[in-house]
Amino acid sequence: MPDRYALIGNPVAHSFSPSIHAEFARQTGQDIEYARLLAPLDGFAAAVAQFRAQGGKGLNVTLPFKLEAYQLATQHTERAAHAQAVNTLKFEGDAVFGDNTDGAGLVRDVEINLEFPIVAMRVLLMGAGGAARGALSPLLEKKPVTVVIANRTVAKAHQLARRFSHLGCSACGYDELVNRQFDLVINATAASIAGDLPPLPPGLFAPRSLAYDMMYGREPTPFLKYAREQGARIADGGGMLVEQAAESFLLWRGVRPDTAPVIARLRAGEFL
Ligand code: NDP
């Protein structure tokens, strides 16, 4: 019997994760099965309990359950504790390990795949939801000169930045970005899902800057189209998606898959 894993969320039908993990398993010779698990919005804990009772070894967690997964875990990695959100669960006996691999996936994609070192960069992180929370501490570990968090609900940005202010992190509303420039602008908002663009002032992108949208899709998002018009280099969240999955796979199986061929297959549209 293969060891069982799944992506739990609501919705999950759109996810590429089963194809990505199947490719990792084939590549590393691991005997695993990875499925989609749609949980009712009010039934996360019950769905996890049922999956464990059936012998499930681990779960990836997506919208809207990352905070509930944090609460459900009995032990947290340091990066999950910083994020106060969990996207990876590992079950061992009675213990439930909670990790957050989103930020590590983002940083690996930016620094290794896109060859854009974060050290000494001015970083703008848009959004203060689960994805931004997961990204913040791995970003700060790379020693940028500053990380500014901008969010529609400004109070949430301030709340998040306060916890990391000793590391050069601050917060503001979009209207306070006038006359400021950044080297790396990360869209961690859900605006792209609705085809929206956060209200950015012109002149935000420094020369040779990188605009990164965590959302992944076949077409550039409105944010990426805008950033390209403003002269920035652009990248979507496809690489992050594969890299965060690889970090989860490493935690579960103790082996790191080679992400480059998997990112290439994702971009070639081979995954369903
Ligand atoms: P959340 O729902 O937790 O947070 C959403 C954030 O987006 C909030 O800060 C919210 O602001 C903001 N927002 C929503 N709509 C708009 C808008 N129209 N204009 C400006 N801001 C807006 O979502 P997540 O943090 O979990 O996900 C955010 C994005 O990251 C999604 O696109 C998701 O697909 C992507 N993601 C990608 C991953 C990858 O591996 N590539 C991994 C994880 C996430 P407010 O606080 O004011 O409501």
Domain check: are 85 and 123 in the same one?
A: no
CB-ligand 1 contact for 214 (6 Å cutoff)? yes
Measured distance CA(76)–CA(259) in Å, rounded: 25
Measured distance CA(3)–CA(7) in Å, rounded: 14
Domain check: are 124 and 225 in the same one?
A: yes
Residue 178 CB neighbours (<10 A): 11
Measured distance CA(242)–CA(62) in Å, rounded: 14
The DSSP code for 269 is T
Domain check: are 197 and 137 in the same one?
A: yes
Q: Domain range for residue 227?
A: 116-236
How many whole angstroms from 193 Cα to the centroid of ligand 1?
A: 8
Whether residue 219 is contained in a domain is answered as: yes
Q: In what order do the strands lie in the sheet with 182-187?
A: 169-172, 146-150, 122-126, 182-187, 205-213, 233-235
Mutational test site, ligand 1, from 214, 241, 244, max ligand atoms within 8 Å of CB? 214
CB-ligand 1 contact for 158 (6 Å cutoff)? no
Active-site annotation holds for 143: no
- pLDDT tens-digit map of 43-95: 999 999 999 999 999 999 999 999 999 999 999 999 999 999 999 999 999 99
Question: Cβ distance 20 to 241 under 8 Å?
Answer: yes
- What was the pLDDT predicted at 21? 98
**Confidence band of 272 (pLDDT split at 50, 70, 90):** confident
SS (H, E, C) 123-159: EEEECCCHHHHHHHHHHHHCCCCEEEEECCCHHHHHH
Whether residue 272 is contained in a domain is answered as: no
User: How many domains, in total, are found in the chain?
Assistant: 2
Mutational test site, ligand 1, from 87, 189, 247, max ligand atoms within 8 Å of CB? 189
Whether residue 58 is contained in a domain is answered as: yes
Indicate whether 167 pLDDT > 80: yes
pTM for the model stands at: 0.96
Q: What is the CATH number of the domain that holds 39?
A: 3.40.50.10860
Domain check: are 210 and 263 in the same one?
A: no
Domain check: are 127 and 195 in the same one?
A: yes
Cα 9 to Cα 85, 98, 155, 199, distances in angstroms: 14, 16, 27, 29
Angle between the N-to-C axes of helices 17-28 and 260-267, in degrees from 0 to 180, rounded to the nearest 10:
140
Average pLDDT over residues 168-193: 96
The residue type found at 32 is I
CB-ligand 1 contact for 167 (6 Å cutoff)? no
Whose CA is closest to atom 16 on ligand 1?
191
Domain check: are 224 and 121 in the same one?
A: yes
